């Protein structure tokens, strides 16, 4: 959290030195200017941000009152958001995806019970879970089946296996930190969150979205 907000505040800092001679309204105008600059930046970077929750978090932290979320949860959320932003920045933009991929993803988004995560992954819950959710550095004990868009199975587990989340594709990392133990999900992962323009040998062609069914049994720190 400190790194993320420090970057934002550093971008706002010049405003505090740009004001002319003080006036009776200077404190109000400074606060308003900081808010306007922050709002403009967030509007560009996070257009779907919930403003009410943003203001609530800002007010609570500024006043030194107890936060609604733990420090650990806040750190996890901001780390996950930063990782997603980094992946998006380093990956091909969605409008460069091939037409077959765009058509496939659009069709998947329209399926009953499907919902889209922030990074374009399409999630369908096959079985709910009530357990803990892993952190980005944890290991997960899962069973899975991986399919190509035409339904061809390219990988699967004969029995549950342990994986470190920092060693799997970006789509797995960003989705599984939101997945509770006991859940079984169907994930449609855009190529930009999988193997991208490189593909994976003879198994996965470049710019190929992947479909996984994943069941999470346990996590290990």
pLDDT number for residue 185: 98
Positions of CATH 3.10.50.40 in the chain: 96-220
Is residue 104 pLDDT above 90, yes or no?
A: yes
Is residue 123 pLDDT above 90, yes or no?
A: yes
Is residue 93 pLDDT above 50, yes or no?
A: no
Length, in residues, of the chain: 221
pLDDT number for residue 86: 61
CATH topology of domain 96-220: Chitinase A; domain 3 (3.10.50)
Q: Are 125 and 185 in contact (CB under 8 A)?
A: yes
At 101, the pLDDT band (50, 70, 90 cuts) reads very high
What does the pLDDT look like over 133-167, one tens digit per residue?
999 999 999 999 999 999 999 999 999 999 999 99
For the chain, what is the largest distance between any 2 Cα atoms, rounded to a whole number of angstroms? 72
Average pLDDT over residues 52-57: 86
Nearest Cα neighbor of 196 from 68, 78, 52, 94 is: 94
């Amino acid at each position: 959290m400190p790194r993320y907000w420090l970057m934002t505040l550093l971008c706002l800092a010049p405003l505090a030195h740009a004001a002319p001679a003080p006036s009776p309204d200077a404190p109000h105008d400074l606060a308003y200017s900081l808010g306007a600059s922050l709002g403009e930046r967030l509007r560009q970077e996070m257009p779907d941000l919930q403003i009410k929750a943003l203001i609530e978090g800002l007010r609570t932290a500024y006043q030194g009152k107890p936060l609604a979320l733990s420090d650990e949860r806040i750190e996890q959320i901001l780390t996950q958001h930063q990782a997603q932003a980094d992946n998006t920045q380093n990956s091909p933009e969605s409008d460069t995806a091939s037409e077959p991929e765009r058509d496939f993803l659009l069709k998947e988004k329209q399926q009953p019970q499907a919902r889209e995560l922030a990074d374009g992954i399409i999630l369908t819950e096959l079985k709910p879970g009530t357990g803990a959710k892993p952190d980005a550095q944890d290991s997960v004990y899962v069973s899975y089946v991986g399919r190509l868009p035409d339904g061809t199975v390219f990988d699967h587990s004969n029995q549950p296996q342990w994986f470190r989340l920092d060693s799997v594709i970006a789509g797995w990392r960003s989705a599984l930190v939101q997945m509770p133990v006991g859940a079984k999900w169907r994930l449609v992962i855009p190529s930009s969150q999988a193997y991208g323009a490189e593909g994976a040998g003879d198994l996965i062609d470049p710019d190929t979205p992947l479909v996984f069914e994943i069941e999470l049994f346990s996590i290990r720190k």
